[in-house]
């Protein structure tokens, strides 16, 4: 096994003191973590890129905790609903996360690390020195070998095999070879590809129309919506969002302004059938009950350009961002 002596020292493990609260632990400090290898991952619970890394990080926690590893999640929220500690706790509990979570609602920990990404991993050795980092998805074997090297250099026994990881559902890796659509924000501040005639009316309600035909990565609203910087909210029943995409998976971060909101999904005008996602039945029916990422489509066959449409039966639905896989 290669020693971490070959890894550069990138600095000291930054302070975690800016966390507004902690889940699954008492507050942690770099001094208190001395003698343990540490992995800090920046996350936010509706982010599909983080969700796809989660099986690996959880496997590292399970496999190496007794050997001296501490995994710390730094939850720095992207959307307003992710500031709600009760919602964060409930979401992470459903995911089975038991390692320490620093709630970073003020982005103080984020700034201490000079971080700019969800997800981002930082690896510190038992002497509190940052030895490696990785931004985004993938590179899992390299990351795990850094962990193993840090533990072995500290005298721990780590065995011969890498951690056993099972990734499925929302956490299944994207089909990068066929993916042709980028994440698409539905709030006006970061929206690209929006083609409803007349564009957005900012922060005020209006009735939108969707063109009959869209090119790849164009999208449109139909019905009465109010567009704000991070979220667009449905004012009257029957509103729809149409997106022309090329991807195996279509996900959409959704919430509501109160009561649950029912919806119907169509692909090229037809029910999704076997292409339905986890949050939709074969007929295309689903319900937004809480703010989170909803997997709406997973194509089982060839990936081609398709027109996705979601129509909301109830008013009050809120749409934040499309992500694809």
pLDDT range class, residue 316, cuts 50, 70, 90: very high
In a domain, 177, yes or no: no
Q: How far apart are CA 188 and CA 186, in angstroms?
A: 6
Please check whether residue 176 lies inside any domain of the structure.
no
pLDDT in tens, 167-225: 999 999 999 999 999 999 999 999 999 999 999 999 999 999 999 999 999 999 999 99
Q: Which of 140, 171, 202 is at the close of a domain?
A: 171
Q: What is the CATH number of the domain that holds 202?
A: 2.60.120.260
Query: Are residue 20 and residue 158 in the same domain, yes or no?
Result: yes
How many structural domains comprise the chain?
A: 2
Asked if 119 and 197 sit in the same domain, the reply is no
- Mark whether 43 and 92 lie in a shared domain: yes
Q: Is the pTM of this model over 0.85?
A: yes
Q: Looking at the structure, tell me whether residues 30 and 70 fall in a common domain.
A: yes
| Residues 56-66 pLDDT 10s | 999 999 999 99
pLDDT-derived band of residue 76, with 50, 70 and 90 as boundaries?
very high
> Within this chain, do residues 242 and 115 fall inside the same structural domain, yes or no?
no
Shared domain check, 84 and 12 = yes
Residue 37 has pLDDT above 90, yes or no: yes
Mean pLDDT of the chain: 97
In this prediction, residue 6 carries a pLDDT of 82
Output the 3-class SS for 84-135: CHHHHHHHHHHCCCCCCEEECCCCHHHHHCCCCCCCEEEEECCCCEEEEEEE
* Domain membership flag for residue 116: yes
User: 243 lies in a domain?
Assistant: yes
Q: Show the domain range for 189.
A: 184-324
Here the CATH number for the domain that contains residue 14 is 3.40.30.10
């Amino acid at each position: 096994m290669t020693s971490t002596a070959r890894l550069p020292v990138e600095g000291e493990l930054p302070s975690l003191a800016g966390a507004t609260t902690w889940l699954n632990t008492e507050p942690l400090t770099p001094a208190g973590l001395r003698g343990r290898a540490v992995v800090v991952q920046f996350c936010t619970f509706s982010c599909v890129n983080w969700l796809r890394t989660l099986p690996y990080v959880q496997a590292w926690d399970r496999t190496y905790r007794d050997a001296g590893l501490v995994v710390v999640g730094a939850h720095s929220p992207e959307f307003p609903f992710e500031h709600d500690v009760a919602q964060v706790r409930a979401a992470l509990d459903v995911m089975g996360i038991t390692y320490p979570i620093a709630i970073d609602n003020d982005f103080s920990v984020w700034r201490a690390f000079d971080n700019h990404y969800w997800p981002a991993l930082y690896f510190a050795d038992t002497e509190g020195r940052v030895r490696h980092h990785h931004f985004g998805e993938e590179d899992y074997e390299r990351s795990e070998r850094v962990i193993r090297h840090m533990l072995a250099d500290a005298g721990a026994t780590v065995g011969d095999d890498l951690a056993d990881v099972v990734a499925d559902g929302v956490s299944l890796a994207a089909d990068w070879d066929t993916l042709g659509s980028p994440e698409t924000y539905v709030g006006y501040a970061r929206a690209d590809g929006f083609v409803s005639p007349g564009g957005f009316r900012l922060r005020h309600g209006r009735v939108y129309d969707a063109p009959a035909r869209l090119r790849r990565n164009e999208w449109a609203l139909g019905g009465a919506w109010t567009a704000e910087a991070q979220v667009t909210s449905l004012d009257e029943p029957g509103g729809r969002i149409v997106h022309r995409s090329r991807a195996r998976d279509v996900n959409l971060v959704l919430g509501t302004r109160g009561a649950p909101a029912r919806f119907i999904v169509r692909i090229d005008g037809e029910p999704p059938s076997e292409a339905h996602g986890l949050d939709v039945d074969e007929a295309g029916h689903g319900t937004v009950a809480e703010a989170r990422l909803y997997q709406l489509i997973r194509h089982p066959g060839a990936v081609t350009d398709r027109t996705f449409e979601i129509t909301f039966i109830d008013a009050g639905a809120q749409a934040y961002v499309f992500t694809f896989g």
